[in-house]
Chains A and B, each alone.
Chain A
Amino acid sequence: MAEGTHVPIRKYLVVWLWLFILSALAYFIDVVHVPQPWKPILLVVVALMKAGMIMAVFMHLGYERLSLIYAVVAPLIFLVVMTIAFLPEGGAIFGSHAIAAP
C-alpha cells in the first residue's frame, strides 16, 4: 500500500465508459448545431467533466493527500485568469477594427 495508490478496477471501467459517452456527446453537440450561446458553454462543461474524471480516477488525484491535490490544482487557476484577461481583450481589438474600417 505504501508504494502507490490503489483504485478498484470497476471504477476504471466506469470512468472509461463515461469518457466514451461524453466524447460522443461533445461530437453530437457540434453536429446538431446547438444555438450559439449554449454550444460553447455545453462543450466547456463536458470538457471539464472529462478532465475532472481523468484527473480524479485515472491519475489517482482523488486518492492522494489533500496537499498534493492543492499543489496541482491551484496553479491551474492561472489559466482561468488568463482566459478572463485576454479573451475580452481580443474582442475589443476586433471591435476597434470594425470602428476604424466599417
Chain B
Amino acid sequence: MATAVVNLAQEFQDYTLRSPFRASWQKVMMWVFIVVDALTFGSLLVSYGFTRVSIGTWANPAHVFALHIGGKEIPLLLIAIMTFILVSSSGTMALGVASAYERNKKRTVLFLTLTMLLGLTFVGCQVYEWSHLITHGTRPWWNPYGPPQFGAYFFTLTGFHGLHVLSGVIYLAIVARMVANGTLDRRGSYQLVEIAGLYWHFVDLIWVFIFTMFYLF
C-alpha cells in the first residue's frame, strides 16, 4: 500500500518533467476541459448576441434586475452583489491553493470551506433572482419585459453558469475532504487543490462575461 502511494507522487513528478507542457497530465486535462467549456459558453454568448442584434430591441436589464430599497429603484444591485461574492470566492480559492503549497492542512480546509460557502451564497442569490422573475411571469417562451428570447437566454445562460457553480461546490467539498482526512498527504502531492482551483477560477471568469454581456449591455 505504502509503495503504491509513493509511486503516485513519483508519477506526478516524472510525468511533469517529461510533458511537453511541463505540467502533470491531471492539470493538462483540466485545461483541455476548460478550453472546451469556454468554447461552449462562448458559443452561447455569440448566439445570444446574434439574436439580440437581429431583433433590434431587448429588455432593459438595469430595470429588470433592479432592487427596491426604501421605495427607490437601485439598478442591478443584486447582480453587483453576486459579482462581488464570486470575486471574493476567487480570492479565497487562491489563498486556499497557496495554503496547499505550504502543506498547511487546516488553512487549506478553512479557505476551501469559505470558498464553498461563498459559492452557495451566490447560488442562493440566483435562486432568489429566478423565483423573482418566474413569479412575475418570465418563462423561456415569454416574459413581461421584452422579446420572448430574453427569457430563453436568461434561463440558459444563468442556469448553465449556476450549474457550474453548484458542481464546483461539490468538487471542492470532495477535495476538502481529501485534504482533511490525509489522502493528499499519503499521495505526497497537493496538486489536486490547484487543479480544483483552475475550475473554480474558470467559473468566475465565465461570470465576468455573462455579467458584462447579459446584464450591463
Contact = CB atoms under 8 A, between A and B. Distances in A.
Interface in B177-217: 189-191, 194, 197-198, 201-202, 204-205, 208-209, 211-212, 216-217
A90 B201 CA distance: 32
A71 B194 contact: no
A29 B217 CA distance: 10
B3 to A, nearest CB: 19
Given A7-B98, A90-B50, A90-B51, A65 B201 contact: no
Contacts of A68: 21-23, 28, 31
B87 interface: yes
A79 B198 contact: no
B101 interface: yes
A94 B54 contact: yes
A67 B22 CA distance: 9
A7 B94 CA distance: 10
Interface residues of B, number: 57
A17 B22 CA distance: 30
Most chain B Cβ neighbours within 10 Å, of A6, A30, A55: A30
B209 A47 contact: yes
A41 to B, nearest CB: 11
B34 A2 contact: no
A50 B160 CA distance: 21
A57 B198 CA distance: 11
B167 interface: no
B114 interface: no
Contacts of A40: 217
Interface in A1-42: 2-7, 9, 12-13, 15-16, 19-20, 23, 26-27, 29-31, 40
B52 interface: yes
B184 to A, nearest CB: 11
A16 to B, nearest CB: 4
Which of B50, B98, B194, B217 is packed against the most chain A CB atoms within 10 Å?
A: B50
A16 B87 contact: yes
A9 B100 CA distance: 12
B95 interface: yes
B138 to A, nearest CB: 21
Contact of B216 (A12, A29, A57): A29
A17 to B, nearest CB: 9
Contact of B209 (A16, A51, A90, A94): A51
Interface of A: 2-7, 9, 12-13, 15-16, 19-20, 23, 26-27, 29-31, 40, 43-44, 46-47, 50-51, 54-55, 57-60, 64-65, 67-68, 71-72, 75-76, 78-79, 82-83, 86-87, 89-91, 93-94, 97-98
Given A44-B212, A82-B42, 20 more contacts: A3-B190, A7-B98, A12-B91, A13-B91, A16-B87, A16-B91, A27-B216, A30-B75, A31-B62, A54-B201, A55-B205, A58-B90, A58-B94, A58-B201, A64-B22, A71-B21, A82-B46, A86-B50, A90-B54, A93-B54
